[in-house]
Amino acid sequence: MVVQLENVSLRRDGKVILQDIQWDIKKGENWVLFGLNGSGKTAILNLLNAYNFPTEGKITVLGMEFGKTYLGEKLRKQIGFISSSLQEKFHPGDNAFEVVLSGAFASIGLYEMPTDEMRRKASKLLEDLGCIEYANRNYETLSQGEKQRVLIARALMADPALLIFDEPTNGLDFIAREHLLDSIERISGSPDAPTMIYVTHHAEEILPVFNKSLLLKEGQVFAKGNTKDMISSEQLSQFFQMPVTVTWEDHRPQLTKQYSKVQ
């Protein structure tokens, strides 16, 4: 079991953020965490990364049970986290190569001397992800799509067992989005690919590799199971409380609202 959340609840200032979350992720499964803004997706990610702890329930990530194991850096080195929220945290003078190298230490910024092997690995990741041409450019000068691909390379530096994509296409145009999704597909096809969680509220971004989906609504599990069953017209019409149609093209879903015919 890669992730296990058992009856997990989270409260802040008397407000229920998450309630009775039950979620098991087995090795070999890749999951979509699907929900609208404010549904609690970020709260779950903060729990998985041990930035917060649950008010109730039990969490085990990569064999480490919260409250019984020292977490912090030990856990985060095994989790690759790609989020646009990280983009503003890097030092203004850091170039793309230095940002990628920092992933070997699970740090924001490079405070330790990387080995030659780390440098070779960072170069190869940048090359594999099509980033090598801007390795020496300041990270802050890169486009949104370039920044996200550098963050993927950074996340892969420590050979994570779990890779989390948090709304990775935010702010990307169509071409940049598809390039990023192509990169994710390539990662999934490698022999030692990590277990992946893809967090989104856009159904059209869901790739075939994400064979399981959890629908999160108002801090609770609305439904979970095989992606083809979860991302369906019937299920999402109930989820959104409006009639929608899901069609599948090239093994990816397309979501449209159903309009009533005018007589």
The Cα 105–Cα 167 span in angstroms is 24
At residue 68, the pLDDT reads 72
pLDDT bracket for residue 51 (50, 70, 90): confident
- The percentage of the chain sitting over the pLDDT mark of 70, rounded to a whole number, equals 96
Tell me the pLDDT of the chain averaged across its residues: 91
At residue 70, the pLDDT reads 65
Predicted model pTM: 0.93
pLDDT, tens only, 90-131 = 887 899 999 999 888 877 777 778 899 999 999 999 999 999
At residue 5, the pLDDT reads 98
Number of domains making up the chain: 1
Q: Which residue type sits at 144?
A: Q
Question: Please, what's the b/e burial string for 82-97 (b: 16 or more CB within 10 A of its CB; e: otherwise)?
Answer: bbbebbeebeeebbbb
CA R_g for the chain: 19
pLDDT, tens only, 135-192 = 999 999 999 999 999 999 999 998 999 999 999 999 899 999 999 999 999 999 988 8
In a domain, 21, yes or no: yes
In a domain, 262, yes or no: yes
Span of 30-34, 112-116, 198-202, 217-221 with lowest mean pLDDT? 112-116
In a domain, 148, yes or no: no
CB proximity list for 182: less than 8 A, separation 6 or greater: none
In a domain, 65, yes or no: yes
Mapping DSSP onto H, E and C, the string for the chain reads CCEEEEEEEEEECCEEEEEEEEEEECCCCCEEEECCCCCCHHHHHHHHCCCCCCCEEEEEECCEEECCECCCHHHHCCEEEEEHHHHHHCCCCCEHHHHHHHHHHCCCCCCCCCCHHHHHHHHHHHHHCCCHHHCCCEHHHCCHHHHHHHHHHHHHCCCCCEEEEECCCCCCCHHHHHHHHHHHHHHHCCCCCCEEEEEECCHHHCCCCCCEEEEEECCEEEEEEEHHHHCCHHHHHHHHCCCEEEEEECCEEEEEECCCCCC
CB proximity list for 178: less than 8 A, separation 6 or greater: none
Better-scored residue on pLDDT, 67 or 20: 20
In a domain, 46, yes or no: yes
The Cα 147–Cα 259 span in angstroms is 38
At residue 87, the pLDDT reads 77
* Inter-CA distances, 223 with 15, 23, 92, 211, Å: 22, 11, 42, 14
- Structural domain including 49 reads 1-78+162-168+201-263
The CA-CA-CA angle for residues 222, 224, 227, to 5°, reads 125
Better-scored residue on pLDDT, 243 or 73: 243
pLDDT, tens only, 236-261 = 999 999 999 999 999 999 999 987 66
At residue 17, the pLDDT reads 96
Q: Are 40 and 219 in contact (CB under 8 A)?
A: yes
Please compute the mean of the pLDDT values over residues 219-243 and round it to a whole number: 97
The CATH code of the domain that includes 21 is 3.40.50.300
At residue 258, the pLDDT reads 84
